[in-house]
């Protein structure tokens, strides 16, 4: 038995009776192994849960539902992506990155044409989240955990005061399948609020070096306002985006950014159309 989301998803994809029945040659086992280890990382949640695995999957699936919907439900428990590449399914977990220097860095020499940049919209930005979950302490009755980013204190930790910045409550209400503890529900609610406020989206066409990227991968982008031969100085604002070093993994500020690949399209000429979304390590803190 395992409630590790990677184990649960692999079982569902491979099982011939109630799952997809995929053969082993359709599964990227190394990617699932890496995802499994991320989910099993111990994190210090608030008392009384305290130390527990980063992500787990305590839910049920309905065999009357489509496999697509059931797979989405399992993926939601671990913030997962399921890219299909080279004939195999991979599992990518949305989590913090401790060694950004290992990531592919896309430089101006690898970018073809213009870059499109768009920021988050107000109707997709929140300062409060209401997370509905099945509370195991109440015999799995439906319960709601509420996180407010208004400068108040939750479990002894002060929240960010996004309410003052926004000037009005911006509330997200959603269900949290797979979560059965209030401590986890609160952390997930905080993650959803902070993630909604880091939604800078970047899209461009890249050279063949980006062909191996898949949805869920992290990358860095180095792009200057001016060509490097014409730049007037070394001030940080010479860059629209810059890369992050390993020593800065837990704390980095503009223009340094990490991005997550949201979509990748391979063109006939070997170039790659990429859509990237801003990634912030701090929002995965527990």
pLDDT of residue 119: 86
Structure tokens at 65: 């539902």
CA distance 8 to 5: 5
Structure tokens at 163: 């309410």
Q: Calculate mean pLDDT across residues 118-145.
A: 91
What confidence tens digit (pLDDT) does each residue in 151-168 have? 888 777 788 899 998 899
Give this prediction's pTM: 0.85
Q: Does the pLDDT at position 233 exceed 60?
A: no
Q: Does the pLDDT at position 225 exceed 80?
A: no
Residue 207, phi-psi category: left (phi > 0), alpha (psi -120 to 50), beta (remainder): beta
CA distance 193 to 127: 6
pLDDT of residue 29: 97
Provide the percentage of residues in the chain whose pLDDT is more than 90.
71
pLDDT of residue 124: 84
pLDDT of residue 210: 94
What confidence tens digit (pLDDT) does each residue in 51-98 have? 899 999 999 889 899 999 999 999 999 999 999 988 999 999 999 899
Q: Does the pLDDT at position 231 exceed 80?
A: no
Any idea what the Cα angle at residue 224 is, between residues 197 and 195, rounded to 5°? 10
Tokens 């003052």 locate to 164
pLDDT of residue 185: 93
């Amino acid at each position: 038995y395992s409630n590790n989301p990677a184990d649960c998803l692999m079982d569902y994809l491979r099982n011939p009776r109630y799952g997809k029945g995929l053969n082993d040659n359709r599964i990227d086992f190394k990617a699932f192994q890496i995802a499994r280890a991320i989910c099993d990382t111990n994190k210090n949640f608030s008392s009384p849960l305290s130390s527990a695995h980063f992500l787990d999957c305590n839910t049920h699936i309905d065999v009357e539902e489509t496999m697509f919907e059931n797979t989405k439900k399992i993926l939601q428990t671990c913030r997962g992506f399921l890219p299909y590449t080279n004939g195999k399914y991979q599992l990518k977990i949305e989590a913090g990155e401790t060694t950004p220097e290992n990531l592919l860095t896309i430089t101006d020499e690898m970018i073809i044409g213009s870059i499109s940049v768009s920021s988050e919209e107000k109707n997709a930005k929140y300062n409060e989240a209401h997370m509905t979950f099945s509370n195991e302490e109440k015999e799995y009755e439906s319960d709601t955990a509420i996180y407010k980013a208004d400068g108040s204190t939750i479990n002894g930790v002060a929240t960010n005061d996004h309410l003052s910045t926004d000037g009005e409550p911006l509330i997200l209400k959603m269900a949290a399948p797979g979560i059965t503890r209030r401590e986890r529900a609160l952390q997930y609610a905080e993650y959803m609020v902070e993630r909604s406020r880091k939604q800078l989206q970047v899209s461009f066409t890249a050279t063949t070096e980006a062909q191996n990227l898949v949805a869920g991968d992290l990358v860095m982008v180095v792009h200057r306002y001016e060509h490097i031969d014409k730049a007037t100085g070394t001030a940080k604002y010479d860059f629209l985006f810059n890369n992050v070093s390993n020593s800065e993994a837990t704390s980095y500020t503009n223009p340094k950014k990490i991005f997550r690949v949201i979509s990748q399209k391979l063109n006939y000429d070997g170039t790659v159309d990429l859509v990237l979304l801003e990634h912030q390590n701090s929002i995965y803190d527990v």
